[in-house]
Amino acid sequence: MSERIKIGISACFFHADPSRDIFRGKTLQYIEQSIAHWVQSGGALAVMVPSPEGETKRTAPYDPPTLDEYAQWLDGLVLMGGSDLWPGSYGEAPLSEKWQGDRIRDEYETALSKAFVAAGKPVLGVCRGLQLLNVAFGGTLYQDIATQLPGARTHRDASVYDRNLHDIEFVPGTRLAKLYGGRRGATVNSVHHQGIKDLAKDFVVEARCPDDGVIEAMRWTGPTYVAGVQWHPEFHWQREHVLNDDPILQDFLAECRARRKGSHE
């Protein structure tokens, strides 16, 4: 049996909070079980990539691993969903106190994604991950779709969370559309309130919400595999009446395997 490929998953953060009863004053880095299991369903090893930055103080010499080392060791990267992006990441001030986002995570994931791109390793963004890639490559976001895009459909409904569904339309001729045999569209979950406003340079749109035009999938036209989807494919897993995301996962993992094979030849 051939060696499994290793897929890095970016970490979510619970920042230190002195009022929290458990792990008081401690910063937690974690991944959701569903994203790890989705990656593993394709036969890969899922590995959380911790941020090398932090409050650790050591008296002895300490040489922490770098994100570049993780990019060299791993075969691909998945940027998972989570908190809002800090508007300062794309040159804006927050329109509301509650949309401050997570600047620390933005900086970590931007550096992480650039390390993998520089190493020629595939990157797949999920929900926040798509938004992070768009910003990292120079694009901007709607801080709140309901506020800044009047008439848009409801893209986040906390009362039903991942069971809030809507249709998407694939852009004909794109790689994503070809993965689904040229079909016109599908139904996906929708748990985000932010979204792409200005698409980053050298990216193409692969899917949109037909109700309001919100970008639902994108891909880089550069030399390596960089793509993102606005929905959560890990929430679709083994669920009926929604898009089967196996083709997206298998396409990503196949690219990771091909890159590994090429680097070993």
- 204-250 confidence digits (pLDDT tens): 999 999 999 999 999 999 999 999 999 999 999 767 789 999 999 99
Interatomic CA distance for residues 109 and 115, integer angstroms: 10
What's the burial of 246, exposed, middle or buried (CB within 10 Å: 0-12/13-18/19+)?
middle
> What size, in residues, is the chain?
265
* Mean pLDDT, rounded, of the chain: 94
Dihedral sign for Cα atoms in the order 238, 126, 77, 174: positive
Give the C-alpha separation, 143 to 86, whole Å: 9
pLDDT at 57 over 80: no
Percent of the chain with pLDDT over 70: 95
Q: In angstroms, what CA-CA distances link 136 with 66, 90, 92, 201, 233?
A: 19, 8, 14, 11, 22
Confidence of residue 52 (pLDDT cuts 50, 70, 90): confident
234 is catalytic: yes
pTM: 0.94
Mean pLDDT of 40-69: 83
pLDDT confidence bin for 121, thresholds 50/70/90: very high
Ordered by start, the domain boundaries in the chain are 6-52+66-264
Whether 127 is a known active-site residue: answer yes
Over 90: is that where the pLDDT of 60 sits? no
92 is catalytic: no
* 6-52+66-264 topology per CATH: Rossmann fold (3.40.50)
Residue from 12, 232, 255, 256 carrying the catalytic annotation: 232
pLDDT at 214: 98
**Residue 75 neighbours by CB under 8 Å, 6+ apart:** 5, 6, 7, 44, 121, 122, 256, 257, 259, 260
What mean pLDDT is predicted for residues 54-83?
A: 85
Catalytic residue from among 12, 109, 127, 193? 127
